[in-house]
């Protein structure tokens, strides 16, 4: 059991693009659910639209990387509008079903061989990094220390991810302390009361859906930034993992999603390495891929326990009663 | 200020955005493919079409591969030729038999090739590929559109029936407890996995007619176990339905990955119920013995279930609770007992559905529940959440729809059709066909 | 009970609101709401079937009737929270058909709810601030730049503070609304409604669940609304309250308007008595039985009549009615 490597990898995951991507996705979901009370089970679709929008713009249309990112974000906003119009009037679990169905339709559209020329179908998309790497301000070299040692490309990816996350967090922070945030809190508690005071509830819910969706798409872009766009990633399991991260940290808080994603990924990485070490050294009599599936079982169990015993998460207020109804 | 016109603008904006999105998609599809195979391409595929040593003119062929599709017609000497951009790759050459003279077809000497008019060849590094088709006299078996339609309808009915077995359980659980149970999909998979362990040649290898009922019983037992350990204690605790829905999501994750842990990522097959072979039914519609048995089982079970629901005391109590839980409880119905029975029955039905689904796909995978779940939700929502008959009607519609839609839409998109219907129904009539308006809040 | 309430400083009632004989659906001199043919059915049940109804401007109108008469449903229909099957209604001359609830509110028609909707997890001050209309900070892009809305927010806070003092809720200003008593929540809802600067305030059972000590305060506040030029329409069951403050009474039963008029008249209407009120509303039974002295009689009742009536006669009336009912049941 190579403990040194296990801990090294675990610590490195704190700053991995996956963690940053999850943090963004969870932040977007916090706006949907934590502040708006919208049960969005289509997180994976928003992330996919961000990632595919980014990659397709670069590969098929020859956009520069920031243009691709813009397309991904705008695509998510459009998707939110299209999704919201029929579904925002629906009660909780109806919205969940509608969003999960919409997400599956999006995934199928990206997977189908009909559009394979553009989307790469089951193979996904890769090789779109040239433009991003070309704008790297960091000269060639090694940066950082210990488990956080990166070459200039990895550093650039992480810096970009962190800047995006910081910007999004600041945005959300400011919103929650504004009168707009006050209206959203009221809507979450009792829509009819807010309506009777003259506020257009539908419009506010739509704004929250679009904003959260755009932030989720940013997460998808960060996820795809260093590697590839693989349709096998944007499945309902991804949505459920992001939900777990959000509930873990605290759904109705600004920093909860960040903390939850961090804890989620650190534990995931630790378990992967730990279980792998156990199987390699023969302590566990199974293949390492089998051991890998065990950690997802644990995620499922964790979600179950969380939602019943600690729905407010680490940073949430127990009195807040995360689930209104 | 939040304008009164925002809603109108939003709708208009969404329509414009959607149109723009479609336009972009269209452009993306058209532009790249048009850019490819050109005159200047260096490599060549060619051939001659003759029949009884006479060249045939005007025969159409299509060559597909890197560079896109190209159509070509034979000239007066029966020759055809196309330029292609790459060598060392595979090309598919299809001869359109309907452009051959009457009574002439492409003949397959080996007796194994079902579509001898379609050939896949690799072009070697030489950059030249020649292909000739063997023609002979024969009848062309054409499957008319109507035949295909009926075949699909039949398949769709089969699928719809097995979907119904699982969906009615989901609907009843929702009706009596208010929970949208995302883990229901895993109950379906569980039935198949249990059957695999009992009947599979690698494990217990029980005869199929023993193993399948046992698998159903095991599924029902699992339903009982879950109710006793999870659902009932939490109902007593007063946990809200939204929380329970998310809990069911966690449960589905845990069970699903447990399946992956035990059976891996492969596709597993169940041994056939009856010896294979196609049985022609009517017209050009054929079915296998397994299909027929599966439909028979589904129909019998559904009728038995419907009778139970309508006639028996428990069945009536179930409907009473779905209608008005408080009233049902005060009129002396033991709600807990009825709910437990509902969980048991719905789990058993789901397990049976899983076995039939495995024969239909064919094959069982650890994650086959996921897509099935969405179809179940589509069926239940379409028919009306909370009503068993609604689930039945919805399942039949969804089943037939997914099968027949593949006549017009690429096969890997056929589930998308069902899902779009789901979203459409939620927009237009959220209570479904048989549901009642007040339910959706 | 009502006999213990000190009569409020008397404020004159508005009269002469109607044109012609007071009857169900009578036209008003200056109506602020005019509704015609409004119908709403649920399944097979007709909840509301109002042929014609006009609400007078600047007066306090009470809407009374037995449970299930359709009063709350009518409220929902008028304010856009529900859609009728048929009918037309207008507010201040503007047609309200198909106008969504929030737009109706912006026009100046504010309603409260039977089950108080004080937003429990927000503070009292936040509740009040939500009432203010036309806030720049509530618009998405503007909310991101505090400089754009800080000043307005402070002004709103000042206004809210003044109102809270008036409603005696100022000490609770930073507490979560959930921590208040039922009566205080009702006061908060009313105060919040006033933040919108409404023209017409529709109160759905404002006294329900409020302890008697606070009832007087609520009554005064409602009378204040009229003094400030607003129109009030409220649903109530307590007849003494209605007598105290209502200028006009509309009686509903089984979805229809069965009577209209000034409070005293309506309570003498035999149809209304049979349907809802019960006989001898105008008497103070305490005086009739001699338990209470005439000078201590409920000011909304007819003290003289109560004194001159013979208790035995009333008792005989009651038993005769009971026997008649038993006969009918056989």
pLDDT digits (tens, 9 = 90+) for B263-286: 888 888 877 776 666 666 666 667
CA distance B72 to B291: 41
| Nearest-neighbour CA in chain B from C133: distance (Å) | 10
Mutation target among B7, B26, B249 for the A interface, most CBs of A within 10 A:
B249
Residue with the larger pLDDT of the pair C236 and B27: C236
Same domain, C6 and C111: yes
Q: What number of residues does chain C have?
A: 330
Q: What is the pLDDT of residue B1?
A: 45
SS3 of B60, please?
strand
Q: Which residue has the higher pLDDT, B168 or C18?
A: B168
| DSSP state letter for B272 | P
Chain B residues within 8 A of A68 when measuring between CB atoms: none
Pick among A88, A172, A179 to test the C interface (most C CBs inside 10 A): A179
| Partner-chain contact A308 B239, CB within 8 Å | yes
Q: Is the peptide bond before B196 cis (omega within 30 degrees of 0)?
A: no
Q: Do residue C92 and residue C143 come from a single domain?
A: no
Q: For chain A, say whether C153 makes contact (Cβ under 8 Å).
A: yes
Q: Could you say which of C79, C113, C135 has the minimum Cβ distance to residue A179?
A: C135
Sign of the Cα pseudo-torsion (A184, A189, A195, A196, in order): negative
Least confident of A220-234, B27-41, B81-95: B27-41
With 80 as the cut, is the pLDDT of residue B435 above it?
no
Residue A214 pLDDT exceeds 50: yes
CB contact under 8 A, A174 and C144: yes
CB–CB of B1 and C139 under 8 A? yes
Distance from CA of C81 to the nearest CA of A (A): 8
Q: Confidence class of residue B39 from pLDDT cuts 50, 70 and 90?
A: low
Whether domain B43-137 has CATH 2.60.40.10: the reply is yes
Confidence of residue B138 (pLDDT cuts 50, 70, 90): low
Mean pLDDT of B174-199: 89
In this structure, what token pair is assigned to residue B214?
């046992």
A321: which chain C residues are within 8 Å (Cβ-Cβ)?
Answer: 121
B412 touches A at CB < 8 Å: yes
| Shortest CA gap A149–chain B (Å) | 34
Residues of C in contact with A189 (CB under 8 A): 119-122
Q: Which chains touch A (3 or more CB pairs under 8 A)?
A: B, C
Average pLDDT, chain A: 86
pTM summary value: 0.78
Residues 6 or more apart from C75 whose CB is under 8 A from it?
A: C81, C111, C202, C204, C235
pLDDT over 70 (residue B14): no
Contact check, Cβ <8 Å, C106/A198: yes
Residues of A in contact with B375 (CB under 8 A): none
Q: Are strands C86-91 and C31-42 parallel, antiparallel or unpaired?
A: antiparallel
What distance lies between CA C192 and its chain's CA centroid? 16
- Determine the number of helices (DSSP H) and then strands (DSSP E) in chain B: 13, 13
Return left, alpha or beta for B324; rule: phi > 0 is left, psi -120 to 50 is alpha, else beta: beta
Q: Any idea what the CATH number is for the domain that residue C46 is in?
A: 3.40.50.300
For residue range A258-306, list pLDDT tens digits in order. Answer: 999 999 998 888 888 888 888 777 777 777 777 778 888 888 998 999 8
- Confidence label for B89 from pLDDT (cuts 50, 70 and 90): confident
The CATH T-level fold of domain A3-140+147-320 is: ABC transporter involved in vitamin B12 uptake, BtuC (1.10.3470)
Q: Is B30 on the interface with A (CB under 8 A)?
A: no
> Does residue B276 sit in helix, strand or coil?
coil
Decide if B423 and A243 are in contact by the 8 Å CB cutoff. no
Instruction: Residue A180: list chain C partners with CB under 8 A.
Output: 137-140, 143
Residue B255 DSSP symbol: H
Q: pLDDT-derived band of residue C132, with 50, 70 and 90 as boundaries?
A: confident
**Boundaries of every domain in chain A:** 3-140+147-320
Band of pLDDT at residue C69, cut at 50, 70 and 90: confident
pLDDT attached to residue A262: 92
Task: Kindly state whether residues C85 and C72 are assigned to the same domain.
Answer: yes
Tell me which of B10, B179, B250, B251 to substitute to probe the interface with A (most A C-beta atoms closer than 10 Å). Answer: B250
Domain that holds residue C143: 121-179
Specify the range with the lowest mean pLDDT, choosing from A209-218, B205-214, C251-260: B205-214
Q: Same domain, yes or no, for C139 and C287?
A: no
Smallest Cα–Cα separation from B177: which of B230, B244, B125? Answer: B244
pLDDT (0 to 100) of residue B284: 60
All residues of chain A having their beta carbon less than 8 Å from the beta carbon of residue C105 are: 195-198
List chain B residues with CB under 8 Å of A61. 28
C206 shares a domain with C87: yes
Task: Retrieve residue A255's tokens.
Answer: 């920093």
Q: What does pLDDT average to over chain B?
A: 79
In angstroms and rounded to an integer, the radius of gyration of the C-alpha atoms of chain A is 20
How do beta strands C231-235 and C200-204 pair? Answer: parallel
What is the rounded distance in angstroms from the CA atom of residue C186 to the CA atom of residue A92? 28
Question: HSE (CB half, 13 Å, CA atoms) of A118?
Answer: 23
The answer to whether A164 and A24 have CB atoms below 8 angstroms apart is yes
Residue B316 predicted with pLDDT over 80? yes
Which positions in chain A have a beta carbon within 8 angstroms of at least one beta carbon in chain C?
Answer: 171, 174-175, 178-183, 185-186, 189-190, 192-201, 207, 211, 319-321
Q: In this structure, how many other beta carbons lie within 10 angstroms of the beta carbon of residue B353?
A: 32
Task: Give the contacts of C64 (CB within 8 A, at least 6 positions apart).
Answer: C71, C235, C236, C237, C239, C242, C249, C250, C251, C252, C276
User: Which residues of chain C have a CB within 8 Å of the CB of A207?
Assistant: 140
DSSP code of C8?
P
**Is the confidence at residue B5, as pLDDT, over 80?**
no
pLDDT at position B251 is 94
Q: Which residue has the higher pLDDT, C109 or B98?
A: C109
DSSP for B25-42, written as a single string: HHHHHHHHHHTSS-TT--
Task: For residues C53 and C193, state if they share a domain.
Answer: yes
C-alpha span between B383 and B389 (Å, rounded): 8
The pLDDT of residue B220: 94
- Confidence band (pLDDT; 50, 70, 90) for B217? very high
Residues of C in contact with A185 (CB under 8 A): 119, 121-122, 126
pLDDT band at B19 (very low <50, low <70, confident <90, very high): low
Query: Percent of chain B scored above 90 by pLDDT?
Result: 17
Distance from CA of B14 to the nearest CA of A (A): 6
| Count of C-beta atoms within a 10 Å radius of residue B413 | 18
Chains that touch B (3 or more CB pairs under 8 A): A, C
Q: How much of chain A exceeds pLDDT 90, in percent?
A: 33
Domain ranges of chain B: 43-137, 145-440
Neighbours of chain C (3+ CB pairs under 8 A): A, B
Chain B stretch 313-372, residues whose beta carbon is closer than 8 A to a beta carbon of chain A: 370-371
Q: Indicate whether C314 pLDDT > 80.
A: no
Residue B205: other Cβ atoms inside 10 A = 11
Tell me whether C138 touches chain A (CB under 8 Å): yes
The average pLDDT across C153-164 equals: 90
A146 pLDDT above the threshold of 90: no
Q: What is the pLDDT of residue B141?
A: 60
Q: What is the pLDDT of residues B124-136, one digit of tens each?
A: 777 788 888 777 7
With cut-offs at 50, 70 and 90, classify the pLDDT of residue B317: confident
pLDDT at C213: 77
Residues from chain A contacting residue C201 (CB–CB below 8 Å): none
Compare all CA atoms of chain B with the CA of A288 and give the residue at the minimum distance: B261
**pLDDT greater than 90 at residue B188:** yes
Number of domains in chain C: 3
pLDDT digits (tens, 9 = 90+) for C216-231: 888 888 888 888 889 9
- Nearest residue in chain C measured CA to CA from B5: C103
Nearest chain A Cα distance for residue B269, angstroms: 21
Q: What is the mean pLDDT of residues A145-149?
A: 78
* Tally of CA atoms within 13 A in the half-sphere of B160 that contains its CB: 24
DSSP state of C274: I
Q: What is the pLDDT of residues C186-222, one digit of tens each?
A: 889 988 988 888 999 999 888 887 777 778 888 888 8
Is B25 in CB contact (< 8 Å) with chain A? Answer: yes
Q: What is the pLDDT of residues A106-126, one digit of tens each?
A: 998 888 877 777 777 777 788
Cβ–Cβ below 8 Å for A81 and B10: yes
Q: Does the distance separating the beta carbons of B4 and C139 come in below 8 Å? A: no
Mean predicted confidence (pLDDT) in B405-409: 80
Is the per-residue pLDDT at B116 higher than 80?
Answer: no
C210: left (phi over 0), alpha (psi -120 to 50) or beta: beta
Q: Give C-chain residues touching B1 at CB under 8 angstroms.
A: 134, 139
Q: List alpha helices for B81-207, DSSP H.
A: 145-177, 184-199
Query: Which residues partner with B129 through β-bridges?
Result: B45
Cβ distance B246 to A203 less than 8 Å, yes or no, reads: no
Q: How confident is the model at residue A85 (pLDDT cuts 50, 70, 90)?
A: confident
Here the ipTM equals: 0.87
Residues of A with Cβ-Cβ distance to C121 under 8 angstroms:
185, 189, 319-321
Confidence of residue A229 (pLDDT cuts 50, 70, 90): confident
- CB contacts < 8 A, B to C, total 5
Is A179 close to C138, i.e. CB distance below 8 A? yes
- Residue C84: is the preceding peptide bond cis (ω within 30°)? no
Lowest mean pLDDT among A258-262, B192-196, C178-182: C178-182
CA angle B130, B134, B136 (to 5 degrees): 160
Average pLDDT of the segment spanning C152-167: 89
Nearest to B410 among A104, A114, A303 (CB): A114
Right CATH for B145-440 from 1.10.3470, 3.40.50, 1.20.120, 1.10.10:
1.10.3470
Crossing angle of helices B368-383 and B414-428, rounded to 10°:
30
């Amino acid at each position: 059991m190579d403990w040194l490597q296990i801990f090294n990898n675990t610590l490195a995951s704190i700053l991995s693009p996956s963690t940053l991507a999850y943090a963004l996705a969870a932040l977007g979901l916090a706006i949907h659910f934590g502040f708006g009370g919208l049960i969005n089970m289509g997180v994976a679709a928003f992330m996919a639209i961000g990632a595919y929008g980014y990659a397709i713009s670069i590969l098929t249309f020859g956009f520069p990387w920031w243009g691709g990112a813009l397309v991904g974000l705008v695509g998510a906003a459009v998707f939110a509008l299209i999704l919201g119009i029929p579904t925002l009037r629906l009660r909780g679990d109806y919205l969940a079903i509608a969003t999960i169905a919409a997400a599956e339709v999006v995934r199928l559209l990206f997977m189908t061989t009909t559009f394979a020329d553009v989307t790469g179908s089951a193979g996904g998309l890769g090789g779109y990094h040239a433009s991003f790497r070309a704008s790297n301000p960091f000269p060639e070299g090694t940066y950082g220390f210990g488990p956080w040692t990166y070459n200039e490309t990895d550093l650039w990816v992480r810096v970009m991810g962190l800047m995006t996350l910081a910007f999004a967090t600041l945005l959300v922070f400011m919103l929650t302390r504004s009168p707009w945030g006050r209206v959203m809190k009221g809507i979450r508690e009792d829509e009819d009361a807010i309506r009777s005071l003259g506020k257009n509830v539908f419009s506010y819910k739509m704004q929250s859906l679009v904003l959260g969706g755009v932030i989720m798409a940013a997460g998808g872009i960060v996820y795809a930034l260093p590697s590839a766009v693989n349709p096998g990633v944007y499945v309902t399991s991804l949505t459920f993992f992001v939900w777990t991260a959000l509930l873990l940290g605290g759904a109705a808080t600004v920093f909860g999603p960040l903390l939850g994603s961090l804890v989620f990924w650190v534990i995931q990485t630790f378990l992967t390495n730990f279980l792998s070490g156990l199987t390699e050294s023969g302590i566990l009599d199974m293949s390492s891929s089998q051991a890998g599936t065990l950690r997802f079982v644990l995620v499922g169990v964790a979600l179950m326990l969380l939602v019943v015993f600690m729905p407010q998460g680490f940073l949430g207020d127990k009195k807040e009663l995360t689930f209104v109804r | 200020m939040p304008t009164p016109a925002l809603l109108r603008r939003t709708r208009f904006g969404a329509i414009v955005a959607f149109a723009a999105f479609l336009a972009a998609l269209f452009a993306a599809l058209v532009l790249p493919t048009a850019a490819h195979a050109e005159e200047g391409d260096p490599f060549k595929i060619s051939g001659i079409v003759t029949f009884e040593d006479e060249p045939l003119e005007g025969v159409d062929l299509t060559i597909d591969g890197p560079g896109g599709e190209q159509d070509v017609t034979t000239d007066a000497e029966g020759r055809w030729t196309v330029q292609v951009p790459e060598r060392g790759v595979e090309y598919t050459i299809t001869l359109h038999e309907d452009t051959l003279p009457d009574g002439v077809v492409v003949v397959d000497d080996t007796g194994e090739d079902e579509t001898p008019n379609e050939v896949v060849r690799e072009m070697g590094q030489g950059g030249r590929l020649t292909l000739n088709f063997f023609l002979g006299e024969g009848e062309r078996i054409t499957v008319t559109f109507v035949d295909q339609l009926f075949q699909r309808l039949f398949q769709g009915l089969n699928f719809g029936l097995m979907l119904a077995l699982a969906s009615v359980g989901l609907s009843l659980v929702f009706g009596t407890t208010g929970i949208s149970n995302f883990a229901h999909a895993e109950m379906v998979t569980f039935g198949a996995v249990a059957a695999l362990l009992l009947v599979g040649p690698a494990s217990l290898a029980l005869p199929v007619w023993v193993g399948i009922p046992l698998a159903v019983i095991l599924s029902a037992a699992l339903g009982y176990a879950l109710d006793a350990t999870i659902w009932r204690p939490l109902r007593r605790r007063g946990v809200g339905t939204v929380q329970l829905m998310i809990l069911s999501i966690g449960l589905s994750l845990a069970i699903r990955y447990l399946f992956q842990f035990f059976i891996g990522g492969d596709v597993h097959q169940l041994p056939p119920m009856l010896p294979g072979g196609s049985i022609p039914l009517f017209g050009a519609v054929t079915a296998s013995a397994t299909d027929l048995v599966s439909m028979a089982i589904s129909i019998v079970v559904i009728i038995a279930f419907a009778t139970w629901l309508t006639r028996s005391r428990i069945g009536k109590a179930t409907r009473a609770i779905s209608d008005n839980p408080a009233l049902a409880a005060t009129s002396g119905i033991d709600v807990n007992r009825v709910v437990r029975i509902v969980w048991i029955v719905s789990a058993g039905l789901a397990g049976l559905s899983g076995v039939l689904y495995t024969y239909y796909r064919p094959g069982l995978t650890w994650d086959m529940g996921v897509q099935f779940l969405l179809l179940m939700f589509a069926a239940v929502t379409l028919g009306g959440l909370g009503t068993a008959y609604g689930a039945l009607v919805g399942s039949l519609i969804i089943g037939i729809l997914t099968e027949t839609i593949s006549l017009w839409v690429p096969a890997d998109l056929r589930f998308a059709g069902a899902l779009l219907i789901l979203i459409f129904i939620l927009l237009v009539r959220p209570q479904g066909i048989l549901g009642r308006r007040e339910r959706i809040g | 009970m009502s006999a213990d309430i000190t009569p409020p400083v008397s404020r004159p009632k508005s009269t002469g609101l109607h044109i012609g004989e007071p009857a169900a659906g009578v036209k008003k001199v200056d109506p602020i709401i005019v509704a015609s043919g409004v119908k709403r059915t649920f399944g097979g049940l007709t909840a509301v079937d109002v042929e014609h109804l006009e609400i007078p401007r600047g007066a306090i109108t009470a809407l009374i009737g037995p449970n299930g008469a359709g009063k709350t449903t009518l409220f929902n229909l008028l304010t856009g929270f529900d859609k009728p099957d048929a009918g037309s209604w207008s507010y201040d001359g503007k047609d309200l058909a198909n106008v969504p609830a929030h737009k109706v509110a912006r026009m100046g028609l504010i309603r409260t709810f039977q089950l108080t909707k004080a937003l429990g997890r927000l503070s009292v001050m936040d509740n009040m601030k939500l009432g203010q209309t036309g806030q720049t900070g509530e618009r998405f892009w503007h909310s991101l730049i505090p400089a754009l809305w800080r000043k307005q927010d402070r002004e709103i806070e000042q206004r809210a503070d003044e109102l809270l003092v008036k409603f005696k809720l100022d000490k609770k200003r930073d507490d979560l609304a959930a921590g208040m008593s039922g009566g205080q929540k009702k006061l908060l809802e009313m105060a919040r409604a006033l933040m919108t600067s409404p023209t017409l305030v529709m109160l759905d059972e404002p006294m329900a669940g409020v302890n008697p000590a606070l009832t007087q305060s609520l009554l005064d506040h409602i009378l204040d609304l009229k003094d400030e030029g607003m129109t009030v329409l409220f649903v109530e069951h307590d007849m003494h309250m209605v007598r105290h403050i209502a200028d006009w009474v509309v009686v509903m039963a089984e979805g229809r308007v069965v009577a209209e008029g000034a409070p005293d008249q309506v309570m003498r209407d035999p149809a209304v008595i049979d349907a809802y009120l019960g006989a001898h509303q105008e008497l103070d039974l305490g005086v009739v039985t001699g338990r209470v002295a005439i000078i201590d009689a409920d000011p909304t009742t007819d003290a003289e009549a109560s004194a001159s009536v013979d208790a035995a006669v009333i008792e005989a009336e009651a038993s005769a009615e009971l026997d008649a009912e038993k006969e009918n049941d056989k």
